[in-house]
Amino acid sequence: MNLVIAFVMVPFAGMLLIPFLKVNAKGIMTFALLLINALLSGYFAIQSLLGEAMIFTLPGSYITGLIPIRIDALSGWFMLIINLIFVTGGFYALFYMKAYREQRNNLTLHSISFLIQHAAMISICVIQNSLAFLIAWEIMAIASFLVIIFDHEHIATIKAGINYLIQAHFSILFLMLGFIWVASKTGSYDFQAITSYTASIPGSASLMLFIFFFIGFAIKAGFVPFHTWLPYAHPAAPSHVSGIMSGVIIKIGIFGILRMLLVVKTDFISVGYIILLISTISGLYGVMLAIVQHNLKKLLAYHSIENIGIIGMGIGLGCVGVGTGNQVLATLGFAGALLHTLNHALFKSLLFYAAGNVYQATHTMDIERLGGIIKKMPQTAFLFLIAAIAICGIPPFNGFVSEFIIYTGFYKWLSDTTLVSLIAAIFAIMGLVLIGGLALLCFTKAFGVVFLGTERSPLPDSCREVPFLQLLPMYLLAAIIILIGLFPIAFINLLGKPVSLLTGTIALPLDAFQLNAFSALQPISRASWLLVLLIAGIYAIRKFALSHRKIETGTTWGCGYIAPTSKIQYTAGSFVRTYSKLFAPFLLIGKHEEEVHGIFPAEAKYHTHPYDKLEKWLIDSPLKMDKLFMGRFVFLNNGKLQMYILYGVLFILAVMSIPILYQTMQSFIEFLNHL
Amino acid sequence: MLSVLLIVIAAIFFTGIIIRTKSLASGRKGPGILQPVRDVVRLFRKGVVYSETTSFVFQIAPTIYFASVVMAMLVVPFGQSRGVLSFNGDFIFFAYVLALGKFFSIIAAMDTGSSFEGMGASREALYSMFAEPAFFILMGSLALLSGHTSFQEIFSALHIGSQISYALAALATFVLLMIAMIESSRMPIDDPKTHLELTMIHEVMILDNSGFDLGLIFTAGYLKFAIYGALIVNLFIGVIPYEYAIPSFFAIQFALAVAIGIIESFMARFRMSHNPQFIVALTSVSLLIFFGVLLILQKFM
């Protein structure tokens, strides 16, 4: 109990201390406080993950009622992920933010928001009182907004921030509607009231309630079509924040959905199919748009949507498993989803940090202007490569393990009996395979164009490897990526509790988790080892064989042309040109072309601007209509104070007249009835 | 273990037989059947030339490519005998470990900074992406039909009896054969003997490789052929005892090599822009197999 209070006090201490410190000390203090909070909550998380769930009750207030804090295994798993990413991100930020040391006040705000954001996210994982939950949710939204707009001198950053803020409040709106619905019926804000309430109402109503919650959390998670804030916010934020956003903030949406699956009693089969459909679309749409992006961070942001899709596919499968009483499906689905949540947090934050290093060195994120960075920043390139392979779900790294579990789940689903589930399974498999293949195209492009070849535009002289301490958190993430790939069993065992919580089997002992469906993980681990040893062995042989041979260097073969320039290289645009022609119906690519004319042609130009088709349909067009409609009333906004006071008076009158009107209406209806 | 031995033996002769067939078809005598192996052995003894544009990625890529193909080979069973690695969902591992090799061969091509190799890399990434769904759906259909999820169990539980299953086996062979062609960059997707860099896929990606590395890439290519050949053979030999299965393995591999030689002699490569359509059509064929399986299992009732 005291520890809980200590946890809340730490950000306050930060607020009081950080403004008065020197620039260097600000960063160190922030990190120290973050570490304290991470250790505190990490202690609870590990307790709940390995031992028993913990329950505290805060007194709350007259309005909220008691605030129960329940730390179960699901909270524990997400708390550990949040802590891991925040600590590595905070450490990385110590060095990344050095470039901004002039902006002292800005850094103060940023540091404090960063601490509050962490505290709010941890609170979201444990608070089980809907009013308090919403407050924590709101604090997180605002704190995230503040950390995103660090670089607020750029108009694009502010725009992205406000876009995020508005959409975050749409998410809150849906959550609020859901919570009010339950509270108005039961009079309690406790999550347990939701469980008892939904158990008592018909299935369609509880499904409706679940969909409210789902939309609310899906906006945060970035499921298509609620994803449009994500590709703006990620690139606008500083890189450590992008890593954290992609790594954990969108995962809090996943956490919310899983939490609601636990508290809302509804028809799991329909929920499963709905989530599966949305997730498959999210996965495909995310990666399809990721491929055509020119901005490295935007590319990674779209990729987050894809991975949220993969996680969602696992959740959908799990729900179907729970609904049909198929333990194997449920276990595989949820285990895959939860493991992929961790995996994605690891490799995506690593990718963003690596992108941050590149940005720091080159001051651009336009991949068409980069190239050949591997020679200037070999370690960053190496780390990016590991994460890129992992994110494509390729062995021997962690992405393969979680995708393999989800694949196994879908193939197990094929032994189901109903036609619908068989067809759903085969199309889900097809979706997952396509996602994998497209991810490969996307990351060979990203890595190949940014790091390999020669520089496409002159890089600044300052382009060199970042200091080792900045690389240290990245190496840590990479090490975990490799560990999960090589020892998946250890991590799957950690997942025993949260998964059994979701699948509904009470107190499934850990070793029972080695059930038939998971028997493949042992050989996967062995195969990964074998692969690593094989590569090492062949490389050693090669090294030995080449030690006696002549090794020369020459120019790249250019079909006899001996004066190649870097402009001859394949660009990112041309690398995916065939793809973008094939997928044209799904993409929206603006082109700007100036062809060559005449005998002595001047400069020719070719620009493409990828845009999001769904954003155009769902956000831009309605907004345009809205503006058109609202434009009619612009005369009201005439800038005269007297008029504004009049509006106020009119509004108050209108509010006051509602009961009178209501009574009149009622008596009128009664009168009609009498007739 | 047996499968590895058989695949290696088949790989030694496979490419030689294709080349020999093509020579005979064009009225030449042609090189000996072991010529590809001799080429590789010579390459292994040579020094290497690296482009100064390249980095460590280029140097390690052929090794990883070769290792990935060897790993894929270890998964493939032979009739009743398991592969060295055999587990539930091993075909997922098979496809993804090959993807590891592909990933590295693509980025190695990008590493040279050559426009031709970038072009090849782009095509390779795109085509292999389209080919993968066909493989997974095919395996899904077979898993559904047999009720198992590992290569060896699926293949040994396959019973080709009814008329529909004959049709399905024919379609499955077609799909696997075409995937083999795409993966090994042969006709009708890619022409290994084309003389123009602009029209190549796989060959153009390895323009800058030499010596030991090139040897590894060639060896991996030979193995890949035999691996897919072995998969096709597995469709049919299921429970047949070894004394018939082993000769039929070589017979089918031989027939496959000759068939490829003949196809390559009398057919032109597809237009590059038509390739994706063709490969997507392959997915449709595999979906057809899936619905055929549903039909056999009477799921449409």
**pLDDT bracket for residue B295 (50, 70, 90):** confident
- What's residue A298's pLDDT? 93
Residue B51 forms contact with A (CB below 8 Å) = yes
Task: Determine the 3-state secondary structure of A59 from DSSP.
Answer: strand
Calpha distance B163→A579 (Å, rounded): 39
Confidence (pTM): 0.93
Residue A229 main-chain phi, psi, to 5 deg = -70, -30
**Residue in the block written with tokens 């496959």:** B256
Structure tokens at B175: 């799909």
Tell me the shortest Cα–Cα distance from A207 to chain B, in angstroms: 29
Provide the 10 A C-beta neighbour count for residue A559.
Answer: 12
Interface test with A, best of B84, B90, B100, B271 (most A CBs within 10 A): B100
Q: Which two tokens stand for residue B246?
A: 């082993």
Question: CB-CB: which of A412, A530, A542 is closest to B212?
Answer: A542
**pLDDT confidence of residue B245:** 86
- Whether B90 and chain A come into contact, CB under 8 Å, resolves to yes
- Closest Cα in chain A, distance from residue B94 (Å): 10
Nearest Cβ partner for B125 among A371, A425, A444: A444
In angstroms, the CA A258 to CA A88 distance is: 25
Q: And the tokens for A194?
A: 């939701």
Domains of chain A, residue spans: 1-187, 267-504, 577-631, 634-674
Q: Is residue B79 part of a domain?
A: yes
Measuring CA to CA, how many Å separate B133 from each of A78, A426, A437, A623, B281? 33, 10, 9, 39, 11
Q: Is residue B57 part of a domain?
A: yes
Over 50: is that where the pLDDT of A657 sits?
yes
Asked whether the predicted pLDDT for residue A359 surpasses 50, the reply is yes
B219 at the A interface (CB within 8 A)? no
Please check the confidence at residue A77 and state whether its pLDDT lies above 50.
yes
* Counts for chain B of helices (H) and strands (E), in that order: 11, 1
In this prediction, residues B61-89 reach a mean pLDDT of 89
Q: Which residues of B touch A395 (CB under 8 A)?
A: 93, 96-97, 100
CB contact under 8 A, A579 and B126: yes
Answer whether B125 sits within 8 Å of A440, measured CB to CB.
yes
Q: How far apart are CA A533 and CA A540, in angstroms?
A: 10
pLDDT at res. A512 = 41
Q: Give the mean model confidence (pLDDT) for residues A503-518.
A: 53
CB within 8 A of B285, min separation 6: which ones?
A: B134, B171, B174, B175
B181 by DSSP, 3-state: which? helix
pLDDT band at A578 (very low <50, low <70, confident <90, very high): confident
Optimal mutation site among B49, B74, B115, interface A, most CBs of chain A within 10 A: B115
B107 touches chain A (CB under 8 A): yes
* Number of domains within chain B: 1
Spatial distance between the Cα atoms of A365 and A347, rounded to a whole number of angstroms: 19
Q: Is B199 on the interface with A (CB under 8 A)?
A: no
Number of H helices, E strands in chain A: 27, 5
* Amino acid at the residue A528: S
Q: To 5 degrees, how large is the angle CA A138–CA A141–CA A146?
A: 125
Size of interface A-B (CB pairs under 8 A): 254
Task: Tell whether B207 is within 8 A of chain A (Cβ).
Answer: yes
Query: In Å, how far are A292, A380, A605, A645, B115 from A567, measured between CA atoms?
Result: 20, 24, 13, 64, 9
Task: Give the rounded distance of the alpha carbon of A288 from its chain centre.
Answer: 17
Q: Cα separation of A470 and B13, whole Å?
A: 53
- Cα gap A401→A184, rounded to integer Å: 44
CB pair distance less than 8 Å for B294 and A422: yes
pLDDT at A371 over 50: yes
Secondary structure letter of residue A68 according to DSSP: E
Q: How confident is the model at residue A509 (pLDDT cuts 50, 70, 90)?
A: very low
A551 and B47 within 8 Å at the Cβ level: the answer is: yes
Q: Which two tokens stand for residue A227?
A: 């994803």
The backbone torsions φ and ψ at residue A543, rounded to the nearest 5 degrees and listed phi first, read -60, -45
For the stretch A130-162, pLDDT in tens is: 999 999 999 999 999 999 999 888 899 999 999
Which of A411, A524, A579 should one mutate to test binding to chain B, selecting the residue with the greatest count of B CBs within 10 A? A411
Of A375, A425, A556, the CB nearest to B55: A375
B81 — phi, psi (to 5°)? Answer: -85, 135
Residue closest to A454 by CA, chosen among B116, B113, B104: B113
State whether A530 and B136 contact (CB < 8 Å).
no
Residue with the larger pLDDT of the pair A62 and A537: A537
pLDDT in tens, A217-259: 999 999 988 898 999 999 899 999 999 999 899 999 999 999 9
Q: Are strands A54-61 and A65-71 parallel, antiparallel or unpaired?
A: antiparallel
Chain A residues touching residue B299 (CB < 8 angstroms): 417, 419, 422
The yes-or-no verdict on residue B165 having pLDDT over 90 is: no
Cβ-defined contact of A556 to B107 (cutoff 8 Å)? no
Q: With contact defined as beta carbons under 8 Å apart, do B234 and B172 qualify? A: no
Over the stretch B283-294, which tens digit does the pLDDT of each residue have?
A: 999 999 898 888
- Nearest-Cα distance to chain A for B192, in Å, is 17
Whether residue B92 is contained in a domain is answered as yes
Q: Backbone phi, then psi, for A452, in 5-degree steps?
A: -100, 180
Q: What is the pLDDT of residues A451-465, one digit of tens each?
A: 998 888 888 887 888
Question: In the predicted model, is pLDDT for residue A510 greater than 60?
Answer: no
Contact A444 B106 (CB under 8 A): yes
Q: Is residue B301 part of a domain?
A: no
pLDDT band at residue B162 under the 50/70/90 scheme? low
Torsion angle, alpha carbons of A191, A329, A408, A275, to 10: -50
> Judged by CB atoms within 8 Å, which residues 59-88 of B form the interface with A?
60, 63-64, 66-68, 70-71, 74, 85-88
Which residue in this structure is represented by tokens 């006051």? Answer: A656
Smallest CA-to-CA distance from B12 within B250, B210, B185, B234 is with B250
Return the pLDDT at A511: 45
- Length of chain B, in residues: 301
Within 8 A of A422 by CB-CB distance, chain B residues are: 144, 294, 299
Contact B48 A551 (CB under 8 A): yes
Angle of helix A250-263 relative to helix A104-126, nearest 10 degrees, comes to 20
B56 contacts A454? CB cut-off 8 A: no
Nearest chain A residue (CA) to B287:
A426
DSSP string of A409-431, one letter each residue: HHHHHTT---HHHHHHHHHHHHH
Tokens of A638: 């005439």
Q: 10 Å Cβ neighbour count for A23?
A: 15
Residue pair B249/B237 in contact by the 8 Å Cβ criterion: yes
Rounded CA separation A258/A78 (Å): 11
Subunit contact A411:B149, Cβ cutoff 8 A: yes
Residue to mutate among A421, A430, A577, with most B CBs inside 10 A, is: A430
Segment A68-88 shows an average pLDDT of 93
Note the pLDDT tens digit of each residue in A290-338: 999 989 999 999 999 999 999 999 999 999 988 888 888 888 899 999 9
- Beta-carbon separation of A542 and B216 below 8 A: yes
Say how far apart CA B85 and CA A508 lie, in whole Å. Answer: 30
Q: pLDDT of B125-147, one tens digit each?
A: 888 888 889 999 999 888 888 88
Strand residues in chain B grouped as ranges (E)? 48-51
Residue with the larger pLDDT of the pair B243 and A276: A276
**Among candidates A417, A429, A538 on the partner chain, residue whose Cβ is nearest the Cβ of B140:** A429
Out of A103-107, A111-115, A603-607, least confident range: A603-607
| DSSP 3-state of A188 | coil
E strand map for A17-88? 54-61, 65-71
The shortest CB-CB distance from A535 to any of B55, B63, B149 is to B63
Alpha-carbon distance B223 to nearest alpha carbon in chain A (angstroms): 16
Give DSSP secondary structure letters for B66-94: HHHHHHHHHH--BTTB--SS--TTHHHHH
Residue A223 and residue A243: Cα distance in Å, rounded? 18
Assess contact for A231 and A612: CB atoms under 8 A: yes
Chain B residues whose beta carbon lies within 8 Å of the beta carbon of residue A574: 118-119, 122
Tell me if A121 sits within 8 A of A81, measured CB to CB: no
B24 to chain A, closest Cα gap in Å: 31
From chain A, the residues in CB contact with B128 under 8 A are: 437, 440
Question: What is the pLDDT averaged over residues A473-496?
Answer: 90
Interchain pair A389, B100: CB under 8 A: yes
**Which one of B53, B103, B273 has the shortest CB-CB distance to A454?**
B53
**What is the DSSP code string of B258-276?**
HHHHHHHHH-PPPPGGGHH
**Please, what is the average pLDDT of chain A?**
89
The candidate with the shortest Cα–Cα distance to A41, out of A28, A29, A26, A54, is A54
Task: Work out the average pLDDT over B212-235.
Answer: 91
What distance in Å separates the CA atoms of residue A127 and residue A130, rounded to the nearest whole number?
8
The pLDDT-based confidence of A653 (bands split at 50, 70, 90) is very high
Q: Where are the alpha helices (DSSP H) in A363-457?
A: 373-376, 378-391, 398-413, 419-451
More confident of the two residues A155 and A491: A155
Q: What angle do CA A268, A274, A275 make, to 5 degrees?
A: 85
* Residue environment code for A480-515, b if the CB has 16+ CB neighbours within 10 A, otherwise e: bbbebbbebeebbebbbbbbbbbbeeeebeeeebee
Q: How far apart are CA B62 and CA A109, in angstroms?
A: 50
What is the pLDDT at residue A566?
78
What percentage of residues in chain A have a pLDDT greater than 90?
49
Chain A residues touching B207 at Cβ < 8 A = 557
Do the domain assignments include residue B108?
Answer: yes
Residue A518 confidence (pLDDT): 62
* Nearest beta carbon to residue A557 from set B85, B110, B207: B207
What lies within 8 Å, CB to CB, of A129 at 6+ separation is A60, A64, A65, A66, A67, A68, A189, A190, A191
Residue holding tokens 């409210």?
A: A212
Domain that holds residue B130: 2-296
Closest Cα in chain B, distance from residue A379 (Å):
11
**Residue-level pLDDT at A571:** 86
Model confidence at A508, pLDDT cuts 50, 70, 90, reads very low
Beta bridge partners of A590: A609
Burial of A621 (0-12, 13-18, 19+ CB in 10 A): exposed
pLDDT on residue B301: 61
Among the listed residues A109, A146, A147, A125, the one whose alpha carbon sits nearest the alpha carbon of residue A4:
A125
B137 touches chain A (CB under 8 A): yes
**Nearest chain A CA: its distance from B11 CA (Å):** 19
Distance from CA of A291 to the nearest CA of B (A): 11
Domain assignment present for residue B222? The answer is yes
Structure tokens at A447: 């890595």
Is the per-residue pLDDT at A99 higher than 70? yes
For an interface test with A, give the residue of B65, B124, B126 to mutate (most A CBs within 10 A).
B126
